[in-house]
Amino acid sequence: MHSSWSYNLETPVYVGKITAPTGLFINGAFVDGSNNSTIDVLNPTTGEVITQVSEGTSKDVDIAVEAAETAFNTAWGLKVPGSVRGKLLAKLATLMEESTDELAAIEALNSGSTYTVMREWRVPMCIAFIRYYAGWADKISGQVIETDERKLTYTRHEPIGVVGQIIPWNSPLLMFAAKIAPALAAGNTVVMKPSEMTPLTALRVCTMVQEAGFPPGVLNVVVGYGNTVGAAMSSHMKIDMISFTGSTLTGRTIMEAAAKSNLKNVTMELGGKSPNIIFNDADLDQAVKWSTRGIFLNQGQMCFAGSRIYVQSGIYDEFLTKFTAQAMQRRIGDPFNPDSNQGPQISSHQTERIMGYIKSGIEDGATVHYGGYRHGGEGGNFITPTIFTNTTPGMKIVREEIFGPVSIVIKFDDQEDVIRQANDTTYGLAAAVFTQNISQAFEVGHALKAGTVWVNCYTELSPGIPFGGYKQSGIGREYGSYALEHYVNVKAMHVNIGHKLP
C-alpha cells in the first residue's frame, strides 16, 4: 500500500523531519500503481536507498488521463475563471514558501545539489514561477479585430485540454514548477511524469496542491520509467499536448510518438553545448567567476552549461590561471555540509558516462589541464572539476553534451572566427559574451545562434524571460508570456451583426 516517507535529518544546515508521499498522485489522492511495484529512490551522495515509490504503468497513465479529462470538462478549463485559478496558484506558492527549508532539504537529499543553493536560490525561484503565472491566470485574452461595421470579429485563447509533461532529474523542483504553472494558469489539466530518480519534491508539493484546494484531477503525477510511462503519455490519444525537457535523443522519440498518435502539440527544451566567449577587454575577474558558475554549478548538470569557453589570445593565459584557481577552490562533498559548493553527480551511471567523456578527450589528444578524476576514490559519484585545453573542433568532448563538471578552454584571435566556432554545433540553447564594448556585445550576441545570450553574466534566469533553444536544442519556449502561447488554442469568432445576403 502507498504510504508516506519520512526522514529525520540532523545536519549543520538543516535539522528536522522531512516527509513525502510515495504513491502516485491521481485524481486528488495518493494511490498505488496498478502493478503494486515500486522504484528505489537513491541518495546520490551515498548510493543508499532513501525510500521506495510506487511505479506507474501505462494503465496508470490511462487512469490519470481520464481523471484529468473529467476535471478539465467539469471543474477546470473554461468552467473556472482565471481569477480562481490564479488564487489557487498563489495559495500553492504560499504553502511552498512556508516549507522552503523542507523542500530544499528533500531536493538536496534526492538530487545531490547543495542545500545552500537549494535554500537560497532554487526553491525561491520555483515559488517565483508559481506566483508569476498566478498573476497571469486572469490576463490571458484574445483580441477584437476590426473588419467592417457589419461584423464583430474577435479571438479567444482557450486551454488546450489535457497536457502531458515530462521532466528530468537535474533540477526536479524547478522543472516541475516551471511546467505546471503556465499549463494550469491557462486552464489546462496536467499529467506529469517526474524522473524516477528524483520524484520526492514533486510528490511533496502534491500534498500542498491538496491543501490549496485544487479540484481533483487538475494535477496528476505518475512516477515511472520513460519506456513505459513516458512512452504511454507520448502516444496517448487523449493527451492533447506534450511538454518535454531532457535529451535530444529522447526528444526525437517523443516527437515521433506524438506524430504517429493524435499529432499532439509538442514543446521541447533539449540539450546544449553552450559557448562562453570572453574578449580581451572583459572584466577578467568577473568573467572568471561567472564562467566558474556557468559550468560547475549543479555539478555541471545543466542543459545550458557554458562548457565551451572561448578566450581571446590577449588574456588567455591569465584567464586560464585564474579559472584554474577557481576550480581548485571548489569544495566537493556532502550537500548538507555548509562548506560544500559541489555535490555528487546524480548516479553511478551518470558518473561513469562523464568519466567516459574524460577518457575520450585524453585519447583524442586533448590536455587535462586540471582535474579529470573522481574525487574520493572509485566508489562515489563525485568528480573533480575538470579543465581541458589543446582541443580540436572535431573532438567528442568539444561537440557532445557531457552534462558534468567538464570545461574546454579554447583560445581565439578575432571576432569573426569565434562566432563561427561558437555556432559550429548542432545545439543552440544558450551562449554568453564578456566584453566592456557594448557595440561588440550586441553584434556578437545577435550573431550567435542561441535562444538565450547572457552578456557579462551567466545562468541568470527569470520567470518572465523566455527560455528555449535553436536547432536541436528544442522547440518552443518555456517561461514568460511566451510559454503561455503553447498552452492555448486560438479561436477566431466571426459574429454577423447586420449583414444580410440578397
Residues annotated as part of the active site? 269
Burial class (CB in 10 A: 0-12, 13-18, 19+), 307: buried
Closest CA to 345 of 391, 388, 405, 294: 405
- What is the per-residue DSSP string for 197-249? TS-HHHHHHHHHHHHHTPPTTSEEE----IIIIIHHHHT-TT--EEEEES-HH
**Are β-strands 49-54 and 38-42 bridged in parallel, bridged antiparallel, or unpaired?**
antiparallel
CA 117 to chain centre: 16
Where on the phi/psi map is residue 283: left (φ > 0), alpha (ψ -120 to 50), or beta? beta
CB 239, CB 233: distance < 8 Å: yes
CA atoms of 44 and 119, how far apart (whole Å): 19
CA atoms of 31 and 34, how far apart (whole Å): 9
C-alpha cell at 131: 506566483
- What is the per-residue DSSP string for 325-373? HHHHT--BS-TTSTT-SB---S-HHHHHHHHHHHHHHHHTT-EEEE--S
Find the helix or strand (DSSP H, E) in which 441 lies: helix 438-447
Alpha-carbon separation of residue 168 from 14, 53, 183, 195, 480 (angstroms): 26, 17, 18, 5, 21
CA atoms of 247 and 472, how far apart (whole Å): 10
CA atoms of 387 and 380, how far apart (whole Å): 20
CB 315, CB 417: distance < 8 Å: no
Q: Is the dihedral of CA 386, 468, 228, 36 positive or negative?
A: positive
CB 182, CB 487: distance < 8 Å: yes
Alpha-carbon separation of residue 128 from 121, 363, 467 (angstroms): 10, 45, 16
CA atoms of 237 and 453, how far apart (whole Å): 37
